[in-house]
Structure 1
Amino acid sequence: MMFVLKASKWIAPKTLEEAEHIQNEMFKHLVLCPFDLSNASLIAGVDVSYTNNEALGIVVVINRNFEVVEVISQKTKVSFPYVPGFLAFREAPVILKCFEKLQFKPDLALLDGQGIAHPRKLGIATHIGILLDIPTIGVAKSLLCGRCEKPEKVGQATEIKDKNNDIIGYCYLSKTGTKPIIISPGYKTDLKSSLCIVQALLNGYKLPEPVRLAHYYSQKLKT
C-alpha cells in the first residue's frame, strides 16, 4: 500500500455522536497551505455511486495532459447511513480500498464532495486527505453549509462564508447553462490554490477533468 492510514479508528463509528467526535478530533490534524499545481504530475479524481446497498468507489488518475493513467474501481456493502455532514463515514471505506489498489501514486486528489465547506470543516475531501496524508480539494455540486451569492457569469467565483463570516470556499460558475460548483480546500491546499487548481483542470465541462472522469466511470461501471 503506497498510502499509510494515520488512524483506522477514524473510519467506522457506531453512532452519530461518535462520528462527530471523530470529526472534531480529526480537525486538530487539519493542515491548510498553498499547493502549486506544477508540483503535481499525477492527479486523482474520486467519486462514489450507489446501487441498492452497495457502494462503487472510483479513483481515476490522470496526468497534466488529461490522459488517463489508471482507473481503479471497488465495490463494498454500505455500512453507514446517509446523513448530511457525515458522508465520509459512508464513502471513506470504499475510497480507501481503491487507493490501496493504485499502482501510480497521485500527488493531488479532487473528490466529489466537500472539503472545509462543512459544519465541522471535515468534509469527505478533508477526511480522506488527513487519513492518507495527500493534498485534496473538494468539488461538490451543492452547498452543504454557509452562504454565498450566486455567480452570474462563467469564470466568476463568489465567496462562501460560514456563520462566523470566515471564508470556507467558493461558489464557481464553470460552464454556461449549468449550476455553480462548490470548491473548498480539503487538506494541504488552501482557498486560493484550490480555486486556481480547479480552474486549471477544467476541460470544457462543468466539473474539473479528474472528477468528471471519476463520475463517468462510476456511472459506466455501476451496471
Structure 2
Amino acid sequence: MSRSAFGDWDGSIEGARRLQTQLAAQVRLVDEAPAAPRTIAGLDVGFEDQGATTRAAAVLLDGTTLQLLDSVVERVPTAMPYVPGLLSFRELPALLAALQRLAQVPELVLVDGQGIAHPRRLGIAAHFGLATGLPTIGVAKKVLCGRFEPPGPQPGAHTPLVHNGEQIAWMLRSKARCNPLVVSPGHRVSMDGARERVMALLRGYRLPEPTRLADRLASRRGAMPERVPAPTGRF
C-alpha cells in the first residue's frame, strides 16, 4: 500500500524542501475516493517526553453511521525537530505506523493538518496521501500561508484561501461562533470535494468526526480507549 515516503532525501532542510516541490507535482486534485466510502480514518499527532516521542492516533469510522470501528495509538521516536513547513518529515513516520495497525485500510482519510494549503503545496495530508496512495483531506485549525476574506457567521459558510494567485483551500465555518477551519485536498480529492466531504462529516462540533476523535486520542482528552475491537463479523 505504501511507497517510500521520503525518496532519496539527504536529511537536510534544503533537501526536504526540494523533495516537497518534487512530490507536490505528483498530487492529484481529482475525486477518486468512493462517493460513499465504507470506512473513513482520522489521524492526528501529539507528543510525549518533552517532544522526544511522537504519539500518532488513528481512528477508523463506519462511512455511513460514523460509528467508531477501531482506534490505535502508535508511539515512535520523534524523527526531527520542528521546522516550519516541514511538519510531515517530523510526523509522517508515526502516522504511517498507526495506519498499519488499523483493522482495515480506509477508503478516505482526514488528517489534522494541511493538504495543499502549504507554501510548496505539500502539507502533511498531501504527503501522507502520496506515501499511501489513499484519498486524503487536510483539516487544519490555523492558516499556514495565504489570504482570505472571513466567511459568514453561519455554519457552512466558506471562502477561498488564496496564495500567490492560486486557491489552496477553503476557509469553512464549521460551527457558529468558532473560527473557520482550513480545508484543503491532500491527494486524490478535488478542492470542492474536500469541502463537501468535510461538511458531510460534521456533527455539531467545530471538527469533523474523524479528526475530532483522533484529536481526542492524540491529546489524551476524553475516555476513548486506545484500541476498540472491530465488531464481530464486520470485517
State the TM-score bracket (shorter-chain normalisation). over 0.9
Query: 3-state SS of the aligned residue for 2:216?
Result: helix
Calculate the TM-score normalised by the size of structure 1.
Answer: 0.93
User: Structure 1: which 5+ residue stretches go unaligned?
Assistant: none
Counterpart amino acid of residue 160 in structure 1 = L
Q: Report the Cα offset of residue 76 of structure 1.
A: 1.1
27, 32, 37: which one aligns with 1:30: 27
Q: Against the structure 1 CA distance between its residues 11 and 204, is the aligned structure 2 distance closer, same or farther, given a 3 Å change threshold? A: farther
Query: 3-state SS of the aligned residue for 1:104?
Result: coil
Contact 1:146 1:162 (8 Å CA) reproduced:
yes
Q: Report the Cα offset of residue 12 of structure 1.
A: 6.5
Query: 3-state SS of the aligned residue for 2:35?
Result: helix
Q: Against the structure 1 CA distance between its residues 136 and 98, is the aligned structure 2 distance closer, same or farther, given a 3 Å change threshold? A: same
Q: Report the Cα offset of residue 67 of structure 1.
A: 0.3
Please tell me the root mean square deviation across aligned C-alpha atoms, in Å: 1.9
Residue of structure 2 equivalent to 1:55: 54
Query: 3-state SS of the aligned residue for 1:94?
Result: helix
Q: Report the Cα offset of residue 197 of structure 1.
A: 0.2
Contact 2:33 2:135 (8 Å CA) reproduced:
no
Q: Report the Cα offset of residue 28 of structure 1.
A: 2.6
For residues 135-154 of structure 1, the aligned pairs below 5 Å read 135-153=135-153, 154=155
Q: Distance in 2 between matches of 1:38 and 1:178?
A: 29
Q: Against the structure 1 CA distance between its residues 36 and 133, is the aligned structure 2 distance closer, same or farther, given a 3 Å change threshold? A: closer
Contact 2:39 2:61 (8 Å CA) reproduced:
yes
* Number of matched pairs: 219
Of 117-126 and 50-59, the range deviating more from structure 2? 50-59
Per-residue Cα deviation, 1:144-188 (whole angstroms, up to 9, x for no partner): 01111111212110001111x111111111112211110000000
Per-residue Cα deviation, 1:15-39 (whole angstroms, up to 9, x for no partner): 1111112112212321110256633
Q: Against the structure 1 CA distance between its residues 195 and 35, is the aligned structure 2 distance closer, same or farther, given a 3 Å change threshold? A: farther
Contact 1:115 1:137 (8 Å CA) reproduced:
yes
Q: Report the Cα offset of residue 138 of structure 1.
A: 0.2
Per-residue Cα deviation, 1:60-107 (whole angstroms, up to 9, x for no partner): 000121100110110111121111211000100000111121221100
Residue of structure 2 equivalent to 1:122: 122
Query: 3-state SS of the aligned residue for 1:39?
Result: coil
Query: 3-state SS of the aligned residue for 1:24?
Result: helix
Residue of structure 1 equivalent to 2:88: 88
